[in-house]
Amino acid sequence: MSAPGLMLCDDLIFYSRVSGTARAAGLSVRMVRTVADLVVAARAAPPGGVIVDVHFPDLDLPALLASLKEACAPVPRVIAYGSHVEAAVLKAARAAGCDLVLPRSAFVEQLEAKIAEWLTPTTASVE
């Protein structure tokens, strides 16, 4: 099994859906409940990928991406998702440097087909 992915969210039901899909693909994803926990976990064992809910309370996405860049080599792929009605928030996540930003509905649609790609380490870096 490859390095586990990390998921920053506060929705246990949605996390269960993502982790179940990852498990079916032979992967694992661990839920973290704070940005600090995500960075500590990433520093301890660079994740295969990071999934972030852009509506996570008090999330400073540019600071998180900078912390991941400092903590990990290679820098993990960061997949962000959020409400389609919050277009400005999704646009800000793209501008911050997330590798992929999707409305939650598109994230769910693509989850089964793309989870392996999302949680597989890459040599690309978040800029």
Per-residue pLDDT of the chain (127 residues; tens, 9 = 90+): 467 899 999 999 999 999 999 999 999 999 999 999 999 999 999 999 999 999 999 999 999 999 999 998 888 999 999 999 889 899 999 999 999 999 999 999 999 999 999 998 865 443 3
Residue 125 lies in a domain: no
Specify the pLDDT at position 125.
Answer: 41
Residue 62 lies in a domain: yes
Contact 76, 55 (CB under 8 A): no
The rounded distance, in Å, linking the Cα atoms of 90 and 85 is: 9
Q: Tokens 């859906």 label which residue?
A: 17
Residue 59 lies in a domain: yes
Query: CATH no. for residue 47?
Result: 3.40.50.2300
Residue 97 lies in a domain: yes
Q: What is the pTM of this model?
A: 0.91
Residues ≥6 apart with Cβ < 8 Å to 80: 51, 52, 53, 54, 61, 90, 93, 98, 100, 101, 102
Residue 95 lies in a domain: yes
Q: How many domains is the chain built from?
A: 1
> CA torsion, points 118, 120, 121, 123, in degrees to nearest 10?
-70
Tell me which residue range forms the domain holding 73.
5-118
Residue 124 lies in a domain: no
Residue 123 lies in a domain: no
